[in-house]
Chains A and B, each alone.
Chain A
Amino acid sequence: MTTTTKHDRLETSSRGGGQAVPARSAKLPFLASANTRKLGLTVLGWTVALLIFFPIFWMVLTGFKTESAAIADPSLIFSPTLESYQAVQERAGYTRFALNSVAVAFGSTLLALLIAIPSAYSMAFLPTRRTKGTLLWMLSTKMLPPVGVLVPIYLIFRDVGLLDTRTGLIIIYTLMNLPIVVWMLYTFFKDMPKDILEAGRMDGATTFQEVCFLLLPLTLPGIASTGLLSVILSWNEAFWSLNLTSSKAAPLTAYIASFSSPEGLFWAKLSAASTMAIAPILVFGWLTQKQMVRGLTFGAVK
């Protein structure tokens, strides 16, 4: 009985289509289109990835060329040399800049997290009528061009003796990243079931214990990815480091910039210096990419 009905339906559908196509093959064009789409997306993905990666690849390559080879016609075939790296190393001590970068990036991230965790907690769990507005206002400060406040900040830094100090950079980077750090933590905290914190309160936890024993362990992936992002943003920041430091506290971004000298651009040396400057953060990003992606999609995929 059932078979007949099915058969009848198949016949009707093929007749309705005006062609004597068996019903089974009617599915195939759909499958084919899904495959094509997948292939198309893969190709597109790779193209975009290669486009983004190409400048980095070319920079690394240029770093291993001689100065003359670097300005000659672009070519993939050349005899690699460490000449530029040697020259760069002789002219300025890489380690000092790198240490500054590490101290400033991690220091500012730590400070930003210390300030942002309590603020995000209060905004997520004890919101007031003004919470949404405050969050938007915080984000809006990111839209201000930094150069707009360069002069006042420079003057303040000069007067309080923060110019060319790691502390100064840590402060400015913390302020720079705070809005985004608070926002990210806020969304992660928002996703945390309120019941669990209330259960903790019923069990006798103080707010501090609630945060340390329940909130932080449960939102660790989010906090980690926020921290990683803040480290990367601080590491890559150039505007403030170039303007507020000169030698003592200069991080790697200043190191790179020091190779675009008034005597002209030395492409090979500049590339070698840049490669050395971005290498640590590239490795760091590579190692933590799983954590980053997990954290960044933590709230989105529900």
Chain B
Amino acid sequence: MATLQLKQITKSFGDTDVIKGVDLEVNDREFVVFVGPSGCGKSTLMRMIAGLESATSGDILIDGARMNEVGPADRGLAMVFQSYALYPHMTVEGNMGFSMRLAGVPKEARREKVLEAAKILQLEPLLDRKPKALSGGQRQRVAIGRAIVRNPSIFLFDEPLSNLDAALRVQMRIELARLHEELDATMIYVTHDQIEAMTMADKIVVLHDGVVEQVGSPMELYHHPCNRFVAGFIGSPKMNFLDVDLVQSGPEGVRIRLPGGEACTVPVDGSRLAADSPLELGIRPEHLQLDDQGPLAGEIKVLERLGGQTSLYVQMGEAMVTLMTDGDVAHRVHDKVRFGFAPGRAHLFDAETQALPSLHQHPLAGLTRHDNRLSSTSGCQ
């Protein structure tokens, strides 16, 4: 059992508030990913959980016990650093066994434990090497091995894949997911890469400017972002945003006028909208379809063929809109195109950039990586 609770955590460096009151609950054996742009405070938050940084106020509870004043080594955590932070003057075995050496574990027992971890990570042939004689992926595995050996109740990963090349990153991603399954431990993972977040997380915590914007399963964040920031941050390519005019609003839907002049009804709850309040329509590139009868029109400015898919960058008046279309689309740059979307796929954001609640829950929104139902802690904050 290892649960983590953060209660009104804040952190200030001098006059700068980096974390502004974070509440979070991490359940046992959950894979939680902190994601956000650089400078959002995600690494600071993780370092506070690790005990490398003290919280200015608030409580950090591990398995219900307050940990604010407990040293990093006594919290039952292990951390994998972005730079791996291997001890360059020690062999792989020395690196992995260092914590036990400090704890005074006899050499034999140490070796046994190291071998056990090395087996999980296929590091056995490398045990006598120094870190500088290892490749990036191998160093990464040693860093993970050093964490495993400590038998922690919670693993912390601080952007562990950002120093690897693209192919290796995919491989390590799969390996980490496998490891999570195998070790059956709670894991907290920090990244700025939303693909890592989407593929690995049971629960994603989107941070922005030291505040939690939304907590939820990857599919929940994708289908029901609770504000414009989350909508724009999750999903690649980024969601398109268009200014639209409000025609009529009510609890059964909001009727809007699109830039081309046509009107459509988006199935969201507009009961709290004031008349003539400014609205922004959000629609993902993959949910826009080329359609000769479509309500939107523009000129293709850039066209990127990826083989299976083609991205079109379409100029629509002032706005540039991205479309993800079929790979075999025959259009060329400067072609005029018309396109549309299913209103159920669209999102509407009010003047405070908050999303209007959707009338229909997406069927996959509650699913995690393991097809498990999420706990009740998820939701907008």
Question: A residues within 8 Å of B by Cβ?
Answer: 193, 195-196, 198-205, 209, 213-214, 217-218
Contact = CB atoms under 8 A, between A and B. Distances in A.
A127 B146 CA distance: 29
B63 to A, nearest CB: 18
Contacts of B89: 217-218
Contacts of A203: 73, 98-99, 102, 146, 150
A115 B59 CA distance: 38
Contacts of B81: 195, 198-199
Contacts of B82: 195
14 contacts: A195-B85, A196-B87, A198-B52, A199-B81, A201-B52, A201-B73, A202-B52, A202-B77, A203-B98, A204-B102, A205-B73, A214-B87, A218-B88, A218-B89
Interface of B: 50, 52, 71-74, 77-79, 81-83, 85-89, 98-99, 102-103, 146, 150
Interface centre among B74, B82, B88 (most CB of A within 10 A): B88
Contacts, number: 55
A190 B321 CA distance: 48
A123 to B, nearest CB: 19
B79 A202 contact: yes
Interface centre among A193, A198, A203, A205 (most CB of B within 10 A): A203
Contacts of B102: 203-205, 209, 213
Contacts of A201: 52, 71-73
B73 A199 contact: no
A214 B83 CA distance: 16
The 10 closest A-B pairs by CB, nearest first: A204-B73, A195-B85, A203-B99, A199-B85, A204-B102, A195-B81, A217-B89, A195-B83, A196-B85, A202-B72
Contacts of A217: 89
Nearest to B147: A202
Contacts of A204: 73-74, 99, 102-103
A201 B51 CA distance: 9
Nearest to A206: B102
Given A193-B85, A202-B77, A214-B87, 12 more contacts: A195-B81, A196-B86, A198-B79, A199-B79, A199-B81, A199-B87, A199-B146, A200-B87, A201-B72, A204-B102, A218-B87, A218-B88
B103 A202 contact: no
A62 to B, nearest CB: 48
A198 B88 contact: no
Contacts of B79: 198-199, 202
